[in-house]
Amino acid sequence: MNKAITLALTGASGAPYALRLLQCLVQADYRVYLLASSAARVVLKTEQQQDWPGSPKALSAYLCHQYGAKEGQIIACGKEEWFSPVASGSAAPKQMVVCPCSMGTVSAIANGASDNLLERAADVVIKERGQLILVPRESPFSAIHLENMLKLARLGVTIMPAAPGFYHEPKSIEDLVDFMVARILDHLGVEHALTSRWGYANA
C-alpha cells in the first residue's frame, strides 16, 4: 500500500458509485481515507439499505471487513477529526474524489468553507494543487450550481457529473455504475477492466 487517496461521500443521490469506487480502490491496493457527511449516511440507508457504524473506528473495521481490505487500508475519519492526515497539506493524499457530490458541498468547496473535515480536505487538495475530482448530481442545475462548478473547474478541479453514457449498451444498473466508476478510475490513473474503451470495437 504505497498509494493513498481520500474518498468522500456526500448527500447527493448516487451511493452505488461510491461503494463500487471504494471496492476498486481497495483492489488496486490504495489506502483510502474515507469521509462521509451526515446526509451521505441518510442516502446510503435510502439507496443501499446500509446503516454504517457511527464511530470512525467501528466504520473503518466494518468497511475493511466488507471489502476484504487489509488492516488499516480503509481509514474512516470523523467530521471534526482535525488531526487526520487529510486536514493538512503536509500529510494529505494528493488525490481526492467526492462521490457523489451534493450541491451543498460543491458550494462549500467553491467558497473555501472548510467547516468540516470533508470540506477542509478538499480545500487542502486545491491549495496543494493536487487532483480533486467531484462527481456532482442534481437535475436541473441552477445558475448557482453552474457558477460554483465553473469556478472550481477554472481552479483545476475535475467536474465529472454522474451522467453515465448508454453507447456501451448497459444491461443492468451495475453496468451504468461501472461506466461512471471506470471514467473516474481513468482520471485517477488506476488500471481497471470495468468497461471496454471507445474505438472501432464499438462500431
- For the bound state, the minimum distance from the C-beta of residue 91 to ligand FMN, rounded and expressed in Å, comes to 23
As beta bridge partners, residue 133 has 97, 158
Backbone angles phi, psi at 167, to 5 degrees: -75, -10
- For the bound state, the minimum distance from the C-beta of residue 195 to ligand FMN, rounded and expressed in Å, comes to 23
Where do contacts with ligand FMN occur on this chain (CB under 6 A)?
10-13, 37, 39-40, 42-43, 46, 102-105, 137-138
Which residue is associated with the grid cell 497539506? 89
- For the bound state, the minimum distance from the C-beta of residue 45 to ligand FMN, rounded and expressed in Å, comes to 9
Which lies closer to ligand FMN via its Cβ, residue 42 or residue 144?
42
Which lies closer to ligand FMN via its Cβ, residue 102 or residue 195?
102
Which lies closer to ligand FMN via its Cβ, residue 10 or residue 60?
10
Alpha-carbon distance of 93 to 133, in angstroms, equals 13
- For the bound state, the minimum distance from the C-beta of residue 192 to ligand FMN, rounded and expressed in Å, comes to 25
Alpha-carbon distance of 203 to 199, in angstroms, equals 7
Which lies closer to ligand FMN via its Cβ, residue 91 or residue 153?
153
Alpha-carbon distance of 94 to 124, in angstroms, equals 9
Which lies closer to ligand FMN via its Cβ, residue 20 or residue 137?
137
- For the bound state, the minimum distance from the C-beta of residue 33 to ligand FMN, rounded and expressed in Å, comes to 17
Which lies closer to ligand FMN via its Cβ, residue 64 or residue 101?
101
Alpha-carbon distance of 179 to 163, in angstroms, equals 9
Exposed / middle / buried, residue 104 (Cβ in 10 Å: 0-12, 13-18, 19+): middle
Question: What is the number of the residue whose Cβ is closest to ligand FMN?
Answer: 11
Cα–Cα distance list, 118 to 10, 40, 68, 147, 183 (Å): 9, 12, 25, 21, 22
- For the bound state, the minimum distance from the C-beta of residue 109 to ligand FMN, rounded and expressed in Å, comes to 10
Reference 22, options 80, 127, 100, 83; nearest CA is 100
